[in-house]
Amino acid sequence: MAEKKIIKTTCKSCHGGCGVLVEVTDGVITHIEGNPESATRGTMCAKGLSSIQHIDNPYRITHPYKRTGEKGEGKWKQISWDEALDTIAAKIKEASEKYGPWTVATSQGTGRGYNRYVHRFSRSMGSANVISPGYICHSPRIGLYGLITGYGRLYCDYHGWGGVFPKTQISWAKQLEISSADSEMAYWYTKSLDYCKNLIIVDPRATAFTSRATLWLQIRPGTDAALALGMINIIIQEGLWDKEFVENWTYGFEELKNRAAEYPVDKVSEITWIPKEKIIQAARLFAQDTPGVIQIGSSLERQANCGQTIRAIINLLGITGNIERPGSMISWVLPETGLIEDVFNEIPLTDEMRSHIYGGDKFKMGAARTCNPDTIIRELNKGEKPIRVWISVGGQQIVHLASTQQVVEGLKNLDFLVQVDQFWGPMAEMADIVLPSAHWLELDDIYDMHPRFMIEAHNKCVEPPGEAMSDAWIFNEIGRRVVPEYWFKDVETLLDHELRKAPITWKKFSERTVSGCFGPDQKYYKYKTDYWRKGGGFPTPTGKMELYSTVLENLGYDPLPFFKEPGESPYSTPELAKEYPLVLTTGFRSPFYFLAQYRNIPWLRTFMEYPTMQINPKTAKELGIEDGDFVWLESPRGKIIQKARLFPGIDPRVVAATANWFYPEAPAQGYRGVFISNPNILTNANYQDPMYGSPDLTCLICKVYKCKPEELKDPKYSDIFIKEHGGKPWAW
């Protein structure tokens, strides 16, 4: 009789959070489905379900390796864990003693499980140089929300715990319905739409929802601040703002009013390419049909005006009183387990650590706890060595940072690079030592969601392949060798430590799977109570929600939001735009991939085999491009190949490229095809947001032309694009 077990766990294939039931028969996973007894009620997306193909996937990294050839040559020797960990610890100690602990950087991919270990690890070594994609994804939102709520998180109240759902929803540069990005789950969002009166979508491209929404504002990429300010102006001019909230709980309304007056609707319509009537209607609906929420997407954080764009949107929420009301934006109360991130907050940043944050002098908001990656890449390219040793977990900086060529050249200049990862990819091919990490089906850990009203358990279902270990184990082991006073006997002790406030042990928590504060346990209208401030108010210097930010003012930034053209656009660089006439946006969400991941998961790759760019049929016709053609996208920095999809849902003046693309099946040489289709070949970091350092990744200009068939026969590309020539492993 086969032994069959059902293990309750939590998916982490995006930012995560869906409860999962895994059926394990005699040690083999035979079924995965959602757990109906979870916050996502038994639903799961294609990415989470396809996790089954992480198991026995021949492309997994299974053992520690050390490089024996040149970087990018793909020559490796298998080594033991002890040798790997001892070597890494020695390198860290050496760099730290000779050049200072800040020359050791720790980097990560998206904010998933390892996030808090990355910070603890870095701080325990005495370095604040954490290299995180946060500055182009979520940190600007957190930081700027923090100017109002102190604690830095505002999320959409999709749950009805306060009695009502949002009446008007704006989905701004986000496709939460297919991404569950930032752990606000697609299930919650789509359920809340059942109770929604008006859905307004701000997106340069049509989505499944745009034609069905109340309003679709098809915006020119990079002009979102102008739209937000234009809406604020209309609301104020028409007297539609929330008078009670503004009068009692905000600071700087008059100043904001004057600033917004600089954005009359005709001007905004011209800037954004959105018809004037639609902007007016959106402003009225949002101001009148309250409560409302705005779901902000990370595309806005990949722009050089990101800080002020987000500020403008927050102010739009402020003047409509959509803060802390049921059905509006809210900062969730923590569950009894407290703030799981305290596992790194308990090691505070010292002034010395702070003073060595690269880019900290310039990008002051971004430097709250991470450095500016582009600054480091620039220095490395100059032949400087701001960083000597770089410990990288999960992320693919080569893929997601601006200017791929410069990142590759820069990283070659490091003394020592470690990549901790599940699969071979560009960063692993650059590394000196590669460590195998376990997938969420293969590990015990705590899942800490961004909205923070609950935590869940990742329970190990099967053994990892070969010698792979969990990220928590890997950090703990390196930590124990370098700064043992900060690290733990084993992972279980670490997890117990993280849960101690509840108090609950890991063993017990892993059976329960959830610790949450939901339903009537949540608290609304915190500013009307002593929650943030005795006698009520917001935890800001003025005690009010600061429409005019005194904090930004003190840091030397404009305290009021403004619009600025993208670094390269038909208006800011008209001469350049003659050569590169199309606006290019990159990085729209795909339901099959999470950023740079999953091109090596066959089920997911069947859904989009090649990176796809969308182009309006009219534009395509003028350029002689047909649906399915391979095309070149070119900017002053270089050119890439993507497959053209003729799509009437995009403005004829705009094209959209799939971002974060490398070919895991491509050889190590060429860093697994990272130079072929990755849009960051086209971007640069010349224009950066003054607060966060975010470069223009989602708003630039390009030209598009058809790829000649003989170009694809070039040996550089033929294996990838011409199936008869191999096409393995994607032979299907």
Partner 1 sequence: MRWGMVINLKKCTRCHACIAACRIEHFLPMGMNWPRLIAWETDVPGEELTTIPVRCNQCKDAPCVEVCPAEATKKREDGIVYVDNDICVGCRYCIIACPYQNRTFLSRDKDPGYFPGYERTRFEKAGRKIYPHVVGTTEKCDFCMERIDAGLAKGLVPGKDREATPACVNTCQSRALTFGDLDDPESEVSKLIKEQNAFQLHPEYGTDPAVYYIDGKIGNAPSNIAPREEQTASHIQHLSTMEERAKQIFGKK
Subset of residues 171 to 190 that bind partner 1, contact rule: CB under 8 A: 175, 177-178, 180, 185-187, 190
**Residue 627 binds partner 1 (CB under 8 A):** yes
Residues 209-268 that bind partner 1 (CB under 8 A): 209, 211-214
357-377 burial by CB neighbour count: b if 16+ within 10 A, else e? bbbbeebbbbbbbbbbbbbbb
Phi/psi for 153 (5° steps) reads -140, 125
CA-CA distance, 263 to 258, in Å (whole number)?
A: 10
**Residue 451 binds ligand SF4 (CB under 6 A):** no
Site track for ligand SF4 across 13-32, x = CB under 6 A: xx-xxx--------------
Residue 317 three-state SS: helix
Residue 607 binding target from ligand SF4, partner 1, none, CB below 5 to 8 Å by type? partner 1
**Residue 623 binds partner 1 (CB under 8 A):** no
Q: What's the Rg (C-alpha) of the chain?
A: 25
Of the residues 89, 280, 334, 712, which one makes contact with partner 1 according to CB under 8 A = 334
Of the residues 539, 617, 638, 667, which one makes contact with partner 1 according to CB under 8 A = 617
Residue 714: CB partners within 8 Å, gap ≥ 6?
none
For partner 1, the closer of residues 536 and 602 by Cβ is: 602
- Residue of 63, 57, 76, 84 lying closest to 429 (CA atoms): 76
Number of residues that bind partner 1 (CB under 8 A): 101
**Residue 729 binds partner 1 (CB under 8 A):** yes
For ligand SF4, the closer of residues 51 and 476 by Cβ is: 51
- Residue of 182, 142, 155, 141 lying closest to 15 (CA atoms): 182
Least Å from the CB of residue 333 to partner 1:
8
CA-CA distance, 277 to 204, in Å (whole number)?
A: 17
**Residue 336 binds partner 1 (CB under 8 A):** yes
For partner 1, the closer of residues 620 and 699 by Cβ is: 620
Of the residues 109, 126, 140, 166, which one makes contact with partner 1 according to CB under 8 A = 166
Of the residues 5, 6, 25, 255, which one makes contact with partner 1 according to CB under 8 A = 25
Of the residues 486, 557, 607, 632, which one makes contact with partner 1 according to CB under 8 A = 607
Residues 30-59 that bind ligand SF4 (CB under 6 A): 44-45, 47-48
Q: At what angle do helices 139-149 and 306-319 cross, to 10 degrees?
A: 40
Least Å from the CB of residue 649 to partner 1:
8
Residue 211 binding target from partner 1, ligand SF4, none, CB below 5 to 8 Å by type? partner 1
Residue 150 binding target from partner 1, ligand SF4, none, CB below 5 to 8 Å by type? none
Question: Which DSSP string do the residues of 350-385 spell out, in sequence order?
Answer: PHHHHHT-TTTTT-TTGGGT---HHHHHHHHHTT--
Least Å from the CB of residue 12 to ligand SF4:
7
Residue with tokens 């915006």: 219
**Residue 159 binds partner 1 (CB under 8 A):** yes
Residue 280 binding target from ligand SF4, partner 1, none, CB below 5 to 8 Å by type? none
Sole window of 34-42, 299-307, 352-360, 394-402 interacting with partner 1 (rule: CB under 8 A):
34-42
Of the residues 9, 168, 171, 180, which one makes contact with ligand SF4 according to CB under 6 A = 180
**Residue 338 binds partner 1 (CB under 8 A):** yes
On whether the CB atoms of residues 28 and 40 are closer than 8 A, the answer is no
For partner 1, the closer of residues 405 and 522 by Cβ is: 522
Nearest-5° Cα angle at 259, 258 to 264 = 90
Q: What is the DSSP letter of 469?
A: B
Residue 339 binding target from partner 1, ligand SF4, none, CB below 5 to 8 Å by type? none
ω before 484 within 30° of 0 (cis)?
Answer: no
Residues facing 436 on adjacent strands: 421
Least Å from the CB of residue 293 to ligand SF4:
19
Nearest-5° Cα angle at 513, 507 to 516 = 120
Residue 715: CB partners within 8 Å, gap ≥ 6?
none
Least Å from the CB of residue 650 to partner 1:
11
The amino acid sitting at 663 is: Y
Query: For ligand SF4, which residue has the nearest CB?
Result: 48
Residue 17 binding target from ligand SF4, partner 1, none, CB below 5 to 8 Å by type? ligand SF4
The amino acid sitting at 486 is: Y
Residue 236: CB partners within 8 Å, gap ≥ 6?
256, 257, 260, 261, 319
Residue 11 binding target from ligand SF4, partner 1, none, CB below 5 to 8 Å by type? ligand SF4
Least Å from the CB of residue 20 to ligand SF4:
7
Residue 391 three-state SS: strand
Task: Tell me the C-alpha to C-alpha distance, in Å, between residue 543 and each of 152, 250, 317, 530.
Answer: 15, 9, 18, 12
CA-CA distance, 714 to 632, in Å (whole number)?
A: 14
Alpha carbon 633 to its chain centroid, in Å, reads 24
For partner 1, the closer of residues 6 and 555 by Cβ is: 6
CA-CA distance, 191 to 39, in Å (whole number)?
A: 12
Residue 14 binding target from partner 1, ligand SF4, none, CB below 5 to 8 Å by type? ligand SF4
For ligand SF4, the closer of residues 124 and 180 by Cβ is: 180
Residues facing 423 on adjacent strands: 60
Site track for ligand SF4 across 60-89, x = CB under 6 A: ------------------------------
Number of residues that bind ligand SF4 (CB under 6 A): 12
Contacts to ligand SF4 by CB under 6 A: 11, 13-14, 16-18, 44-45, 47-48, 180, 186
